[in-house]
Amino acid sequence: MSPIQTSQLSQKQKRKTGFLSDKLPPGSLKRKIAFRVILPLLIILVLVLIVDDIIMPMITRHGDEFPLPDFAGLTLVEAQLLLSELDLEYEVSSEEFSPGQERGIILNQFPVADTRVKSGRVVKFVVSLGQKMVPVPELAGLSVRQAMLDLETSKMQLGEIAWAFSDTLPEKVVVFSYPAAGTEIPLGSPVNLMVNRGRASNFTYMPKVIGLTLDEAGKRLEDKLLRVGIVTHRQDENYLPETVLEQSEAEGTELDVGTEIDLVVSITG
């Protein structure tokens, strides 16, 4: 056989050995492991990377998240305009009474502000029903003490007590309230009472002076024809100096004109 033919035969044999034949000879255990175990694992790994980095982001719109604005304090109309610009939806999850907040104001939201969300997300709102209104109870004909209890039951406060002197009306009872009975007022509002004392007499009622300064309390007592009695001082860092902490007679108590009222007043260290 000529040298040229030998050379061509040799090249054909080399081409038949295939890729990596030197390191993975045909029929060897290494070659079987490589093609039956390692190669399938590599293919699976590549497919996982493709799905994770390319396909899934396309499905989930990865990278399209944005921080959710704070809607608290906005009306539903204002929030709806902003939501439409961001391609978001909303629903009112609950409504509740809220002192100081007008009806329709958003109180809370879920998800909370600055949470990263995507277009199409539904934002849930807690919306204000406004100030709860309650009717003034019927107090005419009641004693002052019973009127105070009825006001407390209705979640209202006792306001000022004024008195009238009349022989034609029941004595020592509430003549009328203002606001009048049946009037709807915000929950927790004060209700003033007009009380009949019968004939002109030397009686008065104890006002509330707790929380006032000593000077203010003295003027309030003087207006009710009462006087400041013994003033005791007690250290209390939660209040400004000379703030009345306690009074010796309860608010609304019937007293003789000129009665002395003992007070406990704050001092600081």
Q: Angle at CA 156, nearest 5°, toward 150 and 157? A: 95
CATH code of 85's domain: 3.30.10.20
The average pLDDT across 222-245 equals: 92
5 located within any domain: no
From 146, 130, 132, select the one nearest 184 (Cα to Cα).
132
Do both 138 and 115 map to the same domain?
no
Extract the tokens encoding 228: 């400041």
The average pLDDT across 206-213 equals: 93
Distance, in Å, from the CA atom of 148 to the CA atom of 159, rounded to the nearest integer, reads: 10
- Looking at per-residue confidence, does 199 or 225 come out higher? 225
The average pLDDT across 186-201 equals: 84
Q: Per-residue confidence at 23, pLDDT binned at 50, 70, 90?
A: low
Q: Angle at CA 220, nearest 5°, toward 219 and 223? A: 85
Do both 73 and 55 map to the same domain?
no
The average pLDDT across 212-230 equals: 93
Residue 9 has pLDDT above 80, yes or no: no
pTM (predicted TM-score): 0.45
Instruction: Output the average pLDDT for the chain.
Output: 84
Q: What is the pLDDT of residue 63?
A: 53
For the chain, give the number of residues. Answer: 269
101 located within any domain: yes
* Domain boundaries, position 181: 132-201
